[in-house]
Structure 1
Amino acid sequence: MTNSSKLLHSVSLALLLTTAAPLMGNAGWVFGASEAQAQTVSQISVTGNVRVDEATVISYLTIRPGQQATPAAIQASTAALNQSGLFQGVSIAMSGSTLVVQVSEQAAVSSVQFQGNRRFTDAQLNTMVEVASRRIYTADVINNDVRMIQSAYDQAGYTNVSVSARTEPTSDGRIRVIFDINEGDRAGVAAINFTGNNSISSSALKNTLITKESHLLSFLFRDDMYDEDRLAVDRERIRVYYANRGFPDARVLSAVAEFDAERNAYFINFTIEEGERYDFGNIAIETSIPGLNTDALRGAIKTNRGARYSLSDLQDSTQDLAVRATQQGFAFAEVRPRIDRDIASNTFNITYLVDEGARIYVERINITGNDKTRDYVIRREFDFAEGDPFNRTLVTRGRAAIEALGFFSNVQITSAPGSAPDRVVLNVAVTEQSTGEYGIGAGYSSQDGLFGEISLTERNFLGRGQYLRLAVGRSETGETYDFSFTEPRFMGLRISAGVDVYRRVVSEGSRFDYGIETNGGRLRFGLPIVENLTLQTHVGFEQKRFTDEDTPAAPAYISNTPELDKLTVGYTLTYNTLDNQQRPSEGMVLSFSQEYATLDHNFLRSEARARAYYPLWEEMGVIGSIRGQAGLITDLDDSGIHPSEAYQLGPNFVRGFRAAGVGARTDVGDNAVGVLAYASASAEVDFPIPVLPEAWGIRGAVWGDIGWIDDTLPDVAGVAVGGIGGDIKSSIGASLIWHSPMGPLRGDFAHVIDKAEQDRTSVFQLTLSTLF
């Protein structure tokens, strides 16, 4: 039995080997079968391609003529063609010695359209979608484009947006891709609440935030948009706000945004831990640098004993001390504040340590990102150049100066090792933003009635950092035409140079019984003298022509001199320490100017102006200000001053009086004559209005004005005039102030106390506010 089994097993094995041998070829090994079947490719044939050329298809293959078309190589080539995104189907096979590649191309996109979009323009959406640039339809690309559009709307506050895509065939065999967008309602910020802010009001904190509550003009400013990144910035702004007002340990414990689907709005809650309030204590300077005059440095210190602790004052003092040490010739000086906390008295004792840092030099300054702005416009903002000593304080000040240009949305400065241990390379990366602006504005003022203006402004003309402005205005009282050009660094120096050309037309009968056409221009130069003090000089020419076409007839001093030419030379000294030039809350601005006029005139005009701001109730945002001004026109040859050159006083002198409404007037025609000397003072308190959101930018104010005018009159060529009727003018009132995009717009409600019979007054006046 055993022998029979063995015989049967042997016969079966022989039959199996006989049958399998032809299939395995000469190799006969099962593991080598795939390689044995691979054929060598002699040529490649591509079929099915219409728009994609054959060379492009072949470039994706991993097989070339002369190589073997193994199953692995064919699979890799198929995957490469599919991943290219050019084809919706790929088939690769051998036909004899020819590798046949058959493809089915993706649909070509003839156009991309958007429907239902209002928040973003078609041009903006086109930059977001990949299909617009590739012009090839694939499901993956379209799905990603839908997500990109939804993300953009989500960041803009449209949390309920829905986006879908569809296609339509076109006559040329391609397809049109259409994105249907249902924006829904934009989600705003219904309320911003604070917990734990016991010392600083919620309204003051809201004013520091980038995120604003929804208000009447949110559709225009888009400042009530919730965004996590903006919320992170707001947390830091709150911390810094506290640190600058005596709370060095203040923390924002949490910032939570809750979405209310029914109201389609967010509610944001900040939880704050204020900590203790501190003042500055003893202030000292210590140095290890021989020959450094520390007494000369003290003027740079802003952290005065007894003053409230302020992080910004501490940082500014540190930087300014380093700069002053550099100005003494110690280019490597570094300043570090040593802070000693006195818990018992709630004070910080500050010792500024002035030491010599490492002797490192600037090898190179690399600038990137400035496609429009010239390199030198950025480089000149540094107080050093390549090859000069490296000083971190000067680098920080340079960055702040570059940011202050307003040409860039972002400025980053990093350092890298140079070619030697004592060399450093500075890399300045900037992100440019639009510097060209055009404006079309209209409004109403008590002085000019309805007015409108079209303007074009370029703050970085040709990338050279130059300022250019063209403007045309029209009002009920006349027309204005202005051209202005400024070179901020004349001949590479810290001197600004500019030219102004203007034309002013005052219509006959609008203010006077005669019209005035004024054409003129001037050259001006400005330069800094010391910190916060600047000098502006100018020379100009002006021609005035008086028109008298209607009745009643113009005064004799107009008809006798129908045209006047004036050449002027003058200067203005300005001292400015305001914390904010647009919305100041602390500091002062002082100016004194003189101008000499010749040709048809011979007089000297002198004016002084001052205004100081002080926070009366900082936590509630209540600000007080005091303003003073005075002017004097001196006749240098006793030939008389023409009334057109006299001060025509109105609401800028004492509120409640109309334009040119103060002083003597002619008996015929009731024309204002003007005055040769004046002085006035004003006190004002402005405050937020509790019932209005801070984001509206509307504040209230109460004020009182008092002024004095001289009774000396201009030369009116013997025309009878009424007297000034009293040299004291005064008024009290209240105002609404809107910080509009055009500037601070004021509505003043005034009650005049002291006035003359011939003075012209007004209960309400609407004006664009200025510092003076």
Structure 2
Amino acid sequence: MFYRRGAGTSCGVRASGSYILYSSLLAFFLGLTTTFLLAAAPAQAQTYRFNDVRVEGNERIEASTIIARMGIERGQNVTAGELNDAYQRVLDSGVFETVELTPRGSTLVVTVTEYPTINKISFEGNRRIKDDVLREVISAQTRRVFTAEQAERDAVAISEVYSAQGRIAATVTPRLIRRGNNRVDLVYEIAEGETIEVERISFVGNRAYSDRRLRRVLQTKQAGLLRTFIRADTFIADRIEFDKQVLREFYLSRGFVDFRVNSANAEFTRERDAFFLVLDVTEGQQFSFGNVSVVSEIPGVQAGPYSEAVKVRPGVTYSPSLVDNEIARLERLGLRRGVDFMRVEPRVTRNDRSLTLNVEFALVKGPRIFVERIDIEGNTTTLDRVIRQQFKTVEGDPFNPREIRESAERIRALGFFAESNVETREGTSSDRVIVDVDVEEQPTGSLNIGGNYSVSDGFGLAVSLNEENWLGRGQRLSASISTAQESERYTFGFTEPYLLGRDLQFDLELGLSERDSSFTNYDTKRVFFQPALTFDVGELSNLQLRYNFETSEMVQREDQTVGAVIASEIAQGERSSSSLGMTYTYDSRRDGLDPTRGLLLQLGVDAAGLGGDNKFVKTSALATAQQLTFNEEVTLRATVELGALYWRDGFSRTVDRYVLGPRTFRGFEPAGIGPRDLSNGRDDAIGGNYYAVARLEAEFPLGLPEELGIRGGLFYDVGNLWNLDDVNTAGGTIVGEGGSFRHVLGFSVLWDTPFGPLRFNFSQALVKEEFDKVQNFDLTLQARF
């Protein structure tokens, strides 16, 4: 300003050059001095001093509590920043909806509005999910302070529960109803919306397996005609993630080591009432095992015995689970041979030209770490020992990470716990580990009510009560009642899976059965008592030892006539059997090398004569082989079943001998083949001492939508029942004692319904005897709901 005024010429004053220079220097120094003086002067911040603090608006919270929360003392100098901090501390307490600090002279007025307390929590509009279930997912509680943020979080949690059931369009709105004394009723208004179903599941990039086969792998299913009873066809994001993992495991177990799921896209239909699910996959090539060898890098340990223990052979389809099985087998062998801390490292070499994977199992020395202890938490009902029985490792044993992982899987497989986590941490020293087991229990009891139907017994009702973890001891307890038109059965069962703390299963079964079949003119009554011990004798086999005591009786019906043989057997009255028996079972389906095939073998023998009236030896054998073929679309199954009865004293009865029903040999009525007594104008089946049956089956898709669960089948049965040694013929007219093989060809429709599996058999006997009783149609239903 001064500069502009000195430089002007309109006022008629002529300035010299020296005067102008002097004025400019003077202005510069004055400005510089003023700047330094202002900078040197200290900034005086506004301060307050309050001799009194008054709180207004509080109803539940004491004023002294609020003042203490602020941290401001009377007579203390307080800056504006400290006053703001006091305001924030009161607001952060979470019990006030609004807070206002107003200085009025020497008095600080604190005005608060308290959040209301929750008087009642209720849900409206929920029909699919009960109130008790929703209360478990919300954090709001009665007699606690209400906050809008908490209510919104609870609304989101409730929506997630509905999303897990496929109702992703569900909305939840928290509402307040004001009550007196600053109380509110909290109401969650729920609009459940419609279930969003999966209308179609398709795959892109699959060549080895069809869409139909892969859909059978997934837990998510397509919507079908019976979707009212099926929950698996609803769209649940978490289940899609699980399906991706299951799909990967399916391919890996079949040698596709490069398999991956590129994406899983879910798109709304045009009507926006369903989803199309498309999984984009890359299968890669299928690999087999190449050279399989064992090397030892532990001094003094020879590889020879471990090489002999390896069961995988070159040419077998590669599977990571098979590699894990071999590692576990070799490490167990090392423990039995006294080699502590031995670890097996698989070293895989890939050969893309031959599509093989060479696997070298290296025996190496692991770190010297011991299990210090196993801590178990969360089990309120289940005893600690039930969980500890799943560990092959005890305190003080060498630590084996693989064994701990396998134990964790066994704990999950019990079915006693909704959640189970097994983790390890360092113990009291670096060479000690502590295994922590944290479980969350779930109900283990069940009540099943269902129906059943068979041609031999008719329609019936089945009721069963099961407890899988009785008194928290890991024991199974069951009771069942099965009543049909022509039979009744009452049973009680008890199982102790770890008798005396060992891997030894004890079973006890008691029962009563009565049968008044329309295919006979007599009734049968049976009471039985059977304890049994079962233990493993190999990785895929077990042996059962049992004792059986039973009483049985044949009772003639009123106004009914029977043949001479049956009459003589009825005259024997009630008879008892006391027998010892054993059954050897080999089942490759438990942990076989190939997931597409399986073999089941059973050999059994029972010898009676240790007390009781009857003396006999009864043997049986069964062999079943199954193979999935044509890209696992078709199931081929072959079964051979044999039985022989050797009676040692007196005469046997029909209830003691073999009598074949539709489940064993199709195409004929119950007891429709075998020796018969034609005396007294009757046609009584009297069974036989020997039988042999072979069943060949093929199951395949019919081209119907997969979601219907309907498949077709062809079967060919051939069988024979013969021999009546040690039978009191009583002058009867016997036919069929020598026996002959019958041949049956048939077609089946298999339907997996939500109520249970239905099987319709349509058959034609190609070779039969004239006295046989043919049955061209058979329907079997077993349902639970």
Q: TM-score, normalised by structure 2?
A: 0.85
User: 2:647 aligned with 1:635, yes or no?
Assistant: yes
Q: Give the CA RMSD over aligned residues.
A: 3.3
User: 2:756 aligned with 1:711, yes or no?
Assistant: no
Whichever residue aligns with residue 539 of structure 2, its letter is: E
CA distance in 2 between counterparts of 1:59 and 1:591 reads 82
Asked if 2 retains the 8 angstrom alpha-carbon contact of 1:39 and 1:69, the reply is no
User: 2:736 aligned with 1:724, yes or no?
Assistant: yes
Q: Which moved further from structure 2: 453-462 or 253-262?
A: 253-262
Whichever residue aligns with residue 203 of structure 2, its letter is: F
CA distance in 2 between counterparts of 1:620 and 1:548 reads 52
CA distance in 1 between counterparts of 2:736 and 2:112 reads 97
User: 2:783 aligned with 1:763, yes or no?
Assistant: no
2:204 to 187, 195, 199: 195
SS at the partner of 1:645? Answer: coil
Whichever residue aligns with residue 755 of structure 1, its letter is: K
1:676-687 alignment runs, 5 A limit: 676-687=689-700
Matched residue, 1:662: 673
SS at the partner of 1:482? Answer: strand
Whichever residue aligns with residue 766 of structure 2, its letter is: I
Q: Which moved further from structure 2: 54-63 or 286-295?
A: 54-63
CA distance in 2 between counterparts of 1:151 and 1:446 reads 47
Percent of aligned pairs with the same amino acid:
31
Deviation at 1:439, TM superposition (A): 0.8
Kindly tell me the number of residue pairs found equivalent between the two proteins: 731
CA distance in 1 between counterparts of 2:375 and 2:81 reads 50
Deviation at 1:472, TM superposition (A): 1.6
Asked if 2 retains the 8 angstrom alpha-carbon contact of 1:157 and 1:188, the reply is yes
Matched residue, 1:538: 546
Matched residue, 2:633: 621
2:276 to 267, 276, 285: 267
1:483 to 485, 488, 492: 492
Asked if 1 retains the 8 angstrom alpha-carbon contact of 2:482 and 2:490, the reply is yes
Whichever residue aligns with residue 679 of structure 1, its letter is: A
User: 2:349 aligned with 1:340, yes or no?
Assistant: yes
2:188 to 179, 196, 212: 179
Asked if 2 retains the 8 angstrom alpha-carbon contact of 1:40 and 1:68, the reply is no
Whichever residue aligns with residue 664 of structure 2, its letter is: F
1:67-466 alignment runs, 5 A limit: 82-88=91-97, 105-133=114-142, 136-168=145-177, 175-260=184-269, 262-292=271-301, 294-298=303-307, 300-466=309-475
Whichever residue aligns with residue 395 of structure 2, its letter is: E
2:711 to 699, 714, 729: 699
CA shift in 2, pair 1:205/1:134, >3 Å = farther
CA shift in 2, pair 1:759/1:294, >3 Å = farther
Matched residue, 2:558: 550
Asked if 2 retains the 8 angstrom alpha-carbon contact of 1:676 and 1:714, the reply is no
1:712-756 alpha-carbon deviations (Å, 9 max, x no partner): 266346162441274212212122334567765432222222222
Deviation at 1:503, TM superposition (A): 1.3
1:677-699 alpha-carbon deviations (Å, 9 max, x no partner): 10111111222343231x55443
Q: Which moved further from structure 2: 667-676 or 245-254?
A: 667-676
Structure 2 gap ranges (5+): 1-41
CA distance in 2 between counterparts of 1:656 and 1:161 reads 53
1:381-408 alpha-carbon deviations (Å, 9 max, x no partner): 2222111111233223323332332333
Matched residue, 2:28: none
CA distance in 1 between counterparts of 2:254 and 2:774 reads 43
User: 2:769 aligned with 1:750, yes or no?
Assistant: no
Deviation at 1:88, TM superposition (A): 4.6
SS at the partner of 1:530? Answer: coil
CA shift in 2, pair 1:283/1:173, >3 Å = closer
Whichever residue aligns with residue 506 of structure 2, its letter is: A
SS at the partner of 1:323? Answer: helix
CA shift in 2, pair 1:764/1:331, >3 Å = farther
CA distance in 1 between counterparts of 2:595 and 2:524 reads 36
CA distance in 1 between counterparts of 2:583 and 2:76 reads 88
1:15-46 alpha-carbon deviations (Å, 9 max, x no partner): xxxxxxxxxxxxxx9958634x22267xx988
Deviation at 1:553, TM superposition (A): 4.2
Q: Which moved further from structure 2: 495-504 or 667-676?
A: 667-676
SS at the partner of 1:119? Answer: coil
Matched residue, 2:617: 604
Whichever residue aligns with residue 566 of structure 1, its letter is: S
CA distance in 1 between counterparts of 2:227 and 2:57 reads 58
Matched residue, 2:29: none
CA shift in 2, pair 1:447/1:101, >3 Å = farther
Asked if 2 retains the 8 angstrom alpha-carbon contact of 1:642 and 1:714, the reply is no
CA shift in 2, pair 1:291/1:746, >3 Å = farther
Q: Which moved further from structure 2: 253-262 or 445-454?
A: 253-262
CA shift in 2, pair 1:236/1:302, >3 Å = farther
Asked if 1 retains the 8 angstrom alpha-carbon contact of 2:687 and 2:721, the reply is no
CA distance in 1 between counterparts of 2:104 and 2:456 reads 92
Matched residue, 2:32: none
CA distance in 2 between counterparts of 1:172 and 1:480 reads 64
SS at the partner of 1:494? Answer: coil
SS at the partner of 2:245? Answer: helix
CA distance in 1 between counterparts of 2:319 and 2:98 reads 68
Deviation at 1:101, TM superposition (A): 7.2
CA distance in 1 between counterparts of 2:357 and 2:260 reads 19
Q: TM-score, normalised by structure 1?
A: 0.86
CA shift in 2, pair 1:281/1:48, >3 Å = closer
Deviation at 1:495, TM superposition (A): 0.9
CA shift in 2, pair 1:627/1:133, >3 Å = farther
Asked if 2 retains the 8 angstrom alpha-carbon contact of 1:527 and 1:536, the reply is yes
